[in-house]
Amino acid sequence: MDQDANGVVPKLRDVFAGYFRIGAAVNPRTLVSSADLLARHFNCITAENEMKFERIHPHEETYAFEDADRLAGFAREHGMKMRGHTLVWHNQTPDWLFEKPGGGLADKALLYARLKAHIDTVVGRYKSDVFCWDVVNEAVADEGPELPRESKWLRIAGEEFIAKAFEFAHEADPDALLFYNDYNESHPAKREKIVTLVRSLKARGVPIHGVGLQAHWQLRSPPADDIRAAIERYASLGLKLHITELDVSVFEWDDRRADLKSPTAEMMELQERRYEQIFRIFREYRDVIECVTFWGVADDYTWLDHFPVRGRKNWPFLFDERHQPKPSFWKVVNGAGTQE
């Protein structure tokens, strides 16, 4: 189907009402430029950058809430839920957090005192807007046998900083659902490290309620079987799953080609089939997947326009640069209409 009997494009949030929430990452620009798409199709938002440490707490004595407040206000106005992203990360975190007065690395006690103040303030402020937090983002190493990623957090506090962050978040808002969030989550070796980490947190009684699968995927990788296996493994921990940052890059990770002004027909065809496959899997696991969030709204803006190849455009979403539904959109919508 191309439109319903009244010539209307179905709303993603209605199509998936019996399955999971449909979310989008937003920023102050896309909140305006994509306001119509957001209000129509989505029932959850995440701040792409505006709640990250460096943005919301740039100096020890300074919090900057204006942008995050605006996003939270939009969610409230449109009756949407909001995911909080993110409290502890090795990127987009200001240097002052890790430094002691007079210079040099802060000690563990100072780092924890600052983290506690940050979490109390930020989580406390958005208590009535944010229903879940990505408490720790990307703390697991991609390659090699080492579990934790090298970072200032690890250097100063050891692996314990992960549990501490969850404890502080739980104290600040006992009702918030708390997530561990990571990318390359479907890669078997990294998946097992994430499972080991999360299982040990649970076993120690750390308040963790879910695993966030970022799902920054490509046309061919990761393979569907790896996605399925990852969902099964994380679900077996007895936690909720959120797909937190979904996009389907038209370039494989190591493809550096940068000459395209528009996607090729082959790319769009592969993307259509890929989205069909991905959402078939999500629907199959609707009992454990509570929320599917795209890391953007439409192809006119995506973080992938700059990453990992500078200045190269990408077209990873269900809506095109003119905010029209792509063939991928119809595959996702029509797939949900079939009997299962």
Q: Supply angle C-alpha 214, 220, 223, rounded to 5.
A: 70
- Site for ligand HAH (CB under 6 A): how many residues? 8
Closer to ligand HAH at the Cβ: 106 or 230? 230
Point out the residue whose Cβ comes nearest to ligand HAH: 183
| Interface with ligand HAH (CB under 6 A), residue from 168, 183, 285, 294 | 183
Instruction: Compare residues 96 and 303 and give the one whose CB is closer to ligand HAH.
Output: 303
Q: Alpha carbon of 120 to those of 50, 87, 168, 227: distances in Å?
A: 17, 11, 7, 35
Residue 284 Cα to chain centre, angstroms: 21
Residue whose tokens read 């061919």: 220
Tell me how far apart the alpha carbons of residues 264 and 208 are, in angstroms, rounded to a whole number. 43
CA dihedral 90, 96, 100, 104 (to 10 degrees): 70
Cα 91 to its chain centre, rounded Å, is 15
Is position 179 an interface residue for ligand HAH (rule: CB under 6 A)?
no
> What minimum distance in Å lies between the beta carbon of 218 and ligand HAH?
12
Which CB, 301 or 303, lies closer to ligand HAH? 303
Binding mask 212-241 vs ligand HAH (x if CB under 6 A, - otherwise)?
--x-x-------------------------
> What span, in angstroms and rounded, lies between the C-alpha atoms of 87 and 136?
6
Q: Identify which of residues 48 and 300 has a Cβ nearer to ligand HAH in the complex.
A: 48
In the annotation, is 284 catalytic? Answer: no
Residues in the chain: 340
Of the pair 271, 302, the CB lying nearest ligand HAH is at 302
| From 48, 138, 185, 272, the catalytic residue | 138
Place of tokens 């004595």: 61
Q: Whole-angstrom Cα distance, residue 212 to residue 307?
A: 21
Query: Is 118 or 283 the residue whose CB approaches ligand HAH more closely?
Result: 118
Residue 308 contacts by C-beta under 8 Å, 6 or more apart in sequence? Answer: 253
**Sequence-distant (≥ 6) Cβ neighbours of residue 310 within 8 angstroms:** none
Of the residues 137, 186, 271, 328, which one makes contact with ligand HAH according to CB under 6 A: 137
Which string of x and - marks every residue 19-48 that binds ligand HAH (by CB under 6 A)?
-----------------------------x
276 is known as an active-site residue: no
- Among the listed residues 48, 185, 245, 272, the single catalytic one is 245
Query: What is the x/- site pattern for ligand HAH, positions 196-215, by CB under 6 A?
Result: ------------------x-
State the minimum distance, in angstroms, from the CB of residue 10 to ligand HAH: 29
Interface positions, 277-336, toward ligand HAH (CB under 6 A): 303
Backbone angles phi, psi at 47, to 5 degrees: -75, 120
Token code pair at residue 41: 């199709």
* CA 295 to chain CA mean position, Å: 7
What amino acid positions are annotated as catalytic residues? Answer: 138, 245
Binding site for ligand HAH (CB under 6 A): 48, 137-138, 183, 214, 216, 245, 303
